[in-house]
Copies of this chain bind each other. A is one copy, B any other.
């Protein structure tokens, strides 16, 4: 006997068929009286698998019509379906959620009502906005419930990429020390240099600052601002030898780099955690970061400094994660709110 399409549900009235459908994979919600109510996601999946026949007012409902009903009743049905189908095909029991998550995924072999969910999953189109504030909030909610958060991003060819998101607290072993003598750095357009060779060597040894170029130590603007704020250098104009204040340096730096303050905040935070941060230009990231001596270790992290309310596009995020993965580094977004929240995104296969 075919199941009945009613609005956004498909009902199996026959108790034997209902219990068979429920027992082979925990599809649907058992009803009082022995029936089963399937969602449209479940129904399309079961119909495609040849496990379900659907009718409405005595007429057979084909896949096309069922999909039409699903698309009418469920926003982003196709996106959700691609994710639902993939998780089911991987052997997971998947429960639908009212939001902000789309699915609760039980560990393999788990049963609804008995086994707690392992993952909470959000199904997203690659065209969705990447909203770091919402993501941080969802992450907190998931972490509070001891669930791992997976973002399932569907591209325009229905290919699926899963991202595991975690909040992390990077920590390193290289807290900077202070130079015995305050060296002088001369400010160029977008960098500063310590011309005195001995001063440069001493400063560099305090925290792996800068880069030796010939006999001079070149500091990045971020390093120069950080050191000047600590009182660990004095900065003078390269052309006039005039001394420049922190405010003056920041003003110039903002002209070269509008998000300078944001980057400096994350840089300071990382330095306070014993992490040595260097430019991530070669990787298209703001920083590459070392938890130990950068002359001995590879960088562990690629870090992007983002405003706490940053909204971006998923293809950008996808690119950043892919690149970090390719060079075996962890990708962190440092969201600068009242504190810096570090979110790690990682491609996974659930």
The interface size of chain A toward B, counting residues with CB under 8 Å, comes to 62
| A contact patch SS | mixed
Check A241 against B68 for contact (C-beta < 8 Å). Answer: yes
Query: Which residues of chain B are within 8 angstroms of A213 by Cβ–Cβ distance?
Result: 82, 85, 158
What residue in chain B is nearest A89 (Cβ atoms)?
B214
Q: Is the C-beta of A282 less than 8 angstroms from some C-beta in chain B? A: yes
Q: Is the C-beta of A211 less than 8 angstroms from some C-beta in chain B? A: yes
| Interface bits A4-17 vs B (CB < 8 Å: 1, else 0) | 00000000000000
A-B contacts, 15 listed (Cβ < 8 Å): A63-B215, A63-B216, A64-B186, A67-B193, A85-B213, A125-B190, A126-B281, A156-B220, A157-B278, A159-B279, A159-B281, A161-B281, A161-B282, A282-B322, A284-B323
| Interface bits A118-155 vs B (CB < 8 Å: 1, else 0) | 00000001110000000000000000000000000101
Q: Would you list which residues of chain A between 205 and 222 have a CB under 8 Å from chain B?
A: 210-211, 213-216, 218, 220-222
Q: Is the C-beta of A327 less than 8 angstroms from some C-beta in chain B? A: yes
A121 to B331, CA, bound (A): 33
A222 to B155, CA, bound (A): 12
Query: Which residues of chain B are within 8 angstroms of A127 by Cβ–Cβ distance?
Result: 190, 256-257
Q: Is the C-beta of A238 less than 8 angstroms from some C-beta in chain B? A: yes
Q: Is the C-beta of A170 less than 8 angstroms from some C-beta in chain B? A: no
Check A85 against B156 for contact (C-beta < 8 Å). Answer: no
Check B155 against A282 for contact (C-beta < 8 Å). Answer: yes
Determine how many copies of this chain the complex contains. 2
Partner of A316, one of B126, B156, B284: B284
Check B319 against A157 for contact (C-beta < 8 Å). Answer: no
A54 shortest CB reach to chain B, Å:
15
Given the known A-B contacts A78-B189, A213-B82, are A283 and B322 also in contact in the complex, defined by CB atoms under 8 Å? Answer: yes
Q: Is the C-beta of A181 less than 8 angstroms from some C-beta in chain B? A: no
A48 to B218, CA, bound (A): 15
Q: Would you list which residues of chain A between 41 and 90 have a CB under 8 Å from chain B?
A: 48, 63-64, 67-68, 71-72, 76-79, 82, 85
Check A320 against B284 for contact (C-beta < 8 Å). Answer: yes
A33 shortest CB reach to chain B, Å:
32
Query: Which residues of chain B are within 8 angstroms of A327 by Cβ–Cβ distance?
Result: 326
Query: Which residues of chain B are within 8 angstroms of A284 by Cβ–Cβ distance?
Result: 315-316, 318-320, 322-323
